[in-house]
Structure 1
Amino acid sequence: MKISTRGRYGLYFMLALAEDYEVKKRSVKSVAEERGISDLYLEQIVASLKKENLVKSTRGAYGGYELNFPPDEIMVGRIFRTLEENIVAVETDEKDTETERYLWRRVRDALRDVLDHTTLADLLSHSEDEIDDYMFYI
């Protein structure tokens, strides 16, 4: 499975808002600068998150973006489904046997389970050292 930059940047933005939940609002520019990414590209991503009602914005001097729900109510799967065209662990092939299709379905279901049962709060509760210890490639 490969998550595009759209999905990754959207998750970065949502985590930044989760870190500051009920403390302060964040601008797209501040998160983009913090992560070293394009603020114009991030603005497009945030528009999708806003349309899906995951974030809300306030105009003015003390304006910015904030989560529309507490971090423990926002599942990572919802973020990725909002931003990614298609999340597929393995695409099946007409040459696959029923046994192979069974394996691919199990992989798909396990991926969905992780994404749909992991909240922003879960991610924030782990230290950076713990996260760095995970292997990102098999």
Structure 2
Amino acid sequence: MKISTKGRYGLYFMLSLARDYGVKKRSVKSVATERNISDLYLEQIVANLKKDGLVKSTRGAYGGYELNHPPDEITVGQIFAAVEESIIVVDTDDHESKNESYLWKRIKDAVNDVLDHTSIHDIIDNDTDDFDGYMFYI
């Protein structure tokens, strides 16, 4: 499985908002600068997060983005679903045996379980804010 830059950047953005939850709003530009990524590209990703109701924005001098729900209510699976085209754990074919299909289904279910039961609060609580050091490959 490979998580694209959309997924990683969406997660970075959400973690930045989660760290400041209830304290301040963040601009796309500030997070993009912090992560040394294109603010135009991040803006496209944030639009999908907003469309799916994960973030909300406020205009004006004290405006910016904030989480639409508490960090413990937003899962990594929701973020990836909002920004990734698809997450394929294993691409199967018609020539596989029942046993192989069973294995791939178990792997897919395990990955989905982790994504759907890991909140951004969980990640922050585990003090893993340096995602640049992690490879999102399985």
The Cα of 1:93 is off from its aligned counterpart by 1.2
Partners of 2:99 and 2:130 in 1: CA distance: 35
1:33 corresponds in structure 2 to: 33
Q: State how far apart, in whole Å, the 2-side matches of 1:98 and 1:132 are.
A: 38
Q: Aligned in 2, Cα 1:41/1:103: closer, same or farther, shift over 3 Å?
A: same
RMSD, matched Cα? 2.0
Match of 1:74 in 2: 74
Detail structure 1 runs of 4+ shifted over 6 Å in the superposition.
Answer: 129-135
The percent of aligned pairs where both chains have the same amino acid is: 69
Q: Which runs of 5+ in 1 are unaligned?
A: none
Q: Which runs of 5+ in 2 are unaligned?
A: none
The 1:95–1:15 alpha-carbon spacing in structure 2 relative to 1, beyond 3 Å, is: same
> Would the alpha carbon gap of residues 10 and 93 (structure 1) be closer, same or farther in structure 2, given more than 3 Å must change?
same
Q: Aligned residues, how many?
A: 138
- The answer for the alignment partner of 1:102 in structure 2 is 102
Aligned to 1:58: 58
Aligned-pair CA distance for 1:122: 0.1
* Distance apart, 1:136 and its partner CA: 5.5
